[in-house]
Amino acid sequence: MTGPVPTAAPAPIIVTALFGRADQAWLDGLRREHFPAERNQLDAHLTLFHHLPPSLADELKRRLAEETRGVPPPQARAAGLMSLGRGVAFRIEAPELTAIRARLAEAFAGLLTPQDAGGWRPHVTIQNKVTPAVAKLLLSDLQRGFRPRAVEIAGLATWWYRGGPWEPLSRHMFA
């Protein structure tokens, strides 16, 4: 008789939106082009929560399943660019995703870190950890040809954060 495979100790949980295949490829390409290679450990992502307690894993999976099962994907768009000081990101507008995040934030209010309890600025970082001058140059370059565009939000995911690349915990796809 075999039992469950032992896993590493619990770690904080990150919650992200998952992009459709074409948008993931587009954003990952921009990250590969503009993110310092030695620091680019992750695919492009849209973080909803940065640090939830590991004790929430089961309830979080249940709530994310309720938010996505049979539900059409939320409308979303890359609406503009934003400076991160030492990097550049796309500002994402997604009212239905914002509502999902607000419901989750309310459910877990007493357990949120200050970063997650503060206002949410949905964005996808395509450059970070560069000098302000390099970031300003990329921002200016991208703004010249920028047009808002729809992006597909295919689902929501949870990840264990153990200091390096994230470990998948669960995926919850929209209908």
The whole-number pLDDT of residue 3 equals 45
Mean pLDDT across the chain, nearest whole number?
93
Q: What are the distances in angstroms from CA 174 to CA 7, 17, 41, 72?
A: 28, 11, 26, 6
The whole-number pLDDT of residue 7 equals 56
The whole-number pLDDT of residue 39 equals 84
Contact between 158 and 15 (Cβ < 8 Å): yes
Sketch the domain layout of the chain as residue ranges: 13-173
Mapped onto helix, strand or coil, the DSSP state of residue 103 is helix
CATH topology of domain 13-173: Cyclic Phosphodiesterase; Chain: A, (3.90.1140)
Q: Nearest Cα to 14, choosing from 118, 120, 152, 168?
A: 168
| Overall average pLDDT of the 79-102 stretch | 98
The C-alpha atoms of residue 122 and residue 28 are separated, in whole angstroms, by 17
The whole-number pLDDT of residue 38 equals 82
